[in-house]
Structure 1
Amino acid sequence: MLFDKICRRNGIRHRLTAPASPNQNGKVERFHGTFRPDFLDEAGPFTSVEQAQAAVDAWVHGYNTDRPHQALNDTLPVTPAERFAAVPTEAREVLPLWLPPALDAVTEPARPHEDHCATDESAVEPPVAPPVAPPVAPTLGRQPGDAVELERVVGPSGNLAIRGQQFWLGPARVGQCVRFWIDCDMVHLSIGGTRVKTVRSHLSINDLAILVAHGAVPAGPPPLPSTLEPDGVVELERAVSRFGSINLGGRKVLIAEILGGRQVGIRIEGQTLMAFDLDTRELLRTRANPLPLEQLRGLRGVRPAGPPLRPSTEPVTVQRRASTEGVIVVAGQKLAIGRAYAHQTVTVHVAESTVTVEADGETRVFRRTSTKPVRSIKGQRPRTATSVS
């Protein structure tokens, strides 16, 4: 992670080789071909990692400074250290190098064979400094790598992309405006002033400069979650499995089978856990909170709570088509409404303890004896008979 952070801060793209493809990393593989017979085959057993590391460092130092490399020059003895040079100071001033405080920049190494190489200047070419990329022009006093903010609208797929990095919001967020807070370390996504997701940033300072050129603005403080108080209320989002459960802090919490496959909001108030609709904030189900306060602090995606939830709109209204005997099936319960309603489509209101059937202006109430969820809303499509001449 530290290596990737240094690359992002300095506008370097870290390119990886494909798995099981040593041909894409030939220089390192060639080094292994030298390191194994010249060092590993001769080195004795080591009593500690520190002793082994010291022996490897001594061998590498001799390889770079004392051992001529034929591929560098086949007529004069030239070592790898003679061909290595740090970026000149004037180049660093044009494009400053960012390093964490624990690391220091490498100074230009000494040239042990400098006097020898000076005898024939035509044979050994002086090292050429790498080309320096043009500096990123600061905007409104910004420094390269400073955080930026921008807004995007969630498309039909529920997915957003910023400079090649993907952000999944889900179909429930389609059409909503998302506020991005981005730097080279983290990306915070907020909707309506509430943080909904935080992920690691894959963007470099060059990506941030391009975003600024396309309308991004300097960012304020990051929208980090507030500290949970003993009586605090928090919310998060979870996808309900097809069995009606969610994963919360490593535990499976049963919500409702009827909500299977749906993205819902979870609101936690003390000992109460509530599932609600993300668009309407309508209360869907209420369960006991199985997690202590200490575990709530480490939940993925936790954020400060929004406004209070709206009451549920039970009963659930569905349609059913009566059979030849005048029987309908709702939530696994068979209801006989009479042969007079055979092949008719009736409206059914399913509540927690009652089932109400409306047909031809009449209303009949049945006691609900099944605990199965309502799986379908619309009644079966009426069949059309075809006359035979």
Structure 2
Amino acid sequence: MSVMEQRYRAVLEVEAGCPVTEVAQRYGVSRQSVHAWVRRYRAGGLAGLADRSHRPRECPHQTSASVEALVCELRRSHPRWGPQRLAYELGRRDIDPVPSLATVYRILVRNTLIVPGQRRRPRSSYVRWEREAPMELWQLDVMGGVMLADGRECKLITGIDDHSRFVVIAQLVVRASGRAVCAAFANAMHIFGVPSEVLTDNGKQFTGRFTKPRATEVLFERICRENGITARNTQVRSPTTTGKIERWHKTVREEFLAAHEPFASVRAAQDALDAWVADYNTVRPHQALDMASPAGRFAARVRGGEAAVQELALRLPADLAALPGLCAPTGEASDALVAEAVPVAVEVDRVVPPSGNLTACGRQVWLGRARAGQQVTIWASTTTMCVFLGEDLLKTHPVTLTGTDLGRLMAVGGRAGRPAPAIALPSGPLAADAVVEVDRMVNNAGCVGLAGKLLSVGVPLAGQRVTLRIDAQTVQVIAEGVLVRTRPSPLTPSQRGRLHGARLAQRPNAAVGRFPTVERVVAGNGTLMVAGCKVQVGQVHRGKVVTVVLEETRFRVLFEGEELSEHPRTIVKEVNRLRASGHIDYRI
């Protein structure tokens, strides 16, 4: 018999007068079940004995529809908020009780606002660490990906306090050089004080332990050593060691960069970033801090430690120290103040180190070990740096300096500079018709480097130092005062103005010395090949060893000082052979 038939028989026996206790014992159920069958039969007949659902009619602790709707609304307004942030926001809106994180997660899954994925590695499996108080450790790094409207990519120098997650450095720079990193680090220490330790990766801006051929101390390590800061580096290829700063980089990309179009300028990007960082530090709750703001933790540091920091003066190199009377060396007001306080050009004396490699204005200038110990004068403007030995000009380099940089040179013993040399690059963009000169060493393949490109000037010049005179269309190769080759110029005016060692040509339109000559043997048919051109001299001169003068627009053929013929030069090609070969006397 089916279960329903057994219930029906039991009800019939009770209705016939049998005791409920005996019926329950006979069918193997409780007395309460028999009473329930009887009530259901009397209320609904035979259909009342069918199986019913065991689902409860109501759930007192079920999340209300209004709370679920609020969770969905917050999630749609802020797609990056997860269960923890949503639960925090519900608490701020006086929802009582606040649903658990699992409940919020199920609400998001049920309304298709989140895609359930595989369970991640549990947090308990990670080795988590954190300093006990603020200012004990800063994590520093450099991040890319900040794009400008003109296509340039800026770098972001970042620093975060390990204990409080307070962002202490967020500085945008065009080029993340070691000096730029140190300047941002020094500015943060001026504002917040000196940390006990810093943790970085193994970038060349932070450490020189991997420098070849031997390890050396970089500027960042020197600043840490002189200020009693313990500089720590991660193991190679271990980004999880600096996980806090790496995780902040992800937040910057997803919350700041994704919400902005490419910025018009570096200043516009910096202003927007400063506003966002201020909100991150003071308003935005942080999940790792139990939804507290980083500023709340950072401001709670021990006052005794703060006083101890102030007892020791911050020790910085002279060119990184703050100018007297300026509290914000990167602001517009301070730039205007410096522009009024410093001259157009500044001179400062330096002594050549034993290595012969002098560092000035952010550039390394090779002067040679023979000049070690000599005092030279550095002349610097916003575009050009010149090195003088007395009145003799030794080196010229293009630089990009600001009024603040010149003000720092004045603060460390500088003086007003002499009038600009005639070869100094003008301020502002280089004119399209300007002619510049650079000196280059020709490598074994006969090439020189220009703006990251290789320009072939000829294998015969390998190992020689040549002067390249560059205008809008051509590059003239000058060796020992002689024009030896002319090549098409691959550079734009802006690239010409940024060449290493560039200077204005003193005589851009003057003829350069004599023209190079080569020797050739006239073939039996009266022709010869020179610079990729076939020149017809005449069979009457076959077998003769002639001299060909390579001018810019023509060839002149000479024999024993007498000019035989003149031919137009239609091809600009390298000359790899200067002497005649294969001499055959056809006159026999």
Q: Kindly name which structure, 1 or 2, has the bigger radius of gyration based on alpha carbons.
A: 2
Q: TM-score, normalised by structure 2?
A: 0.32
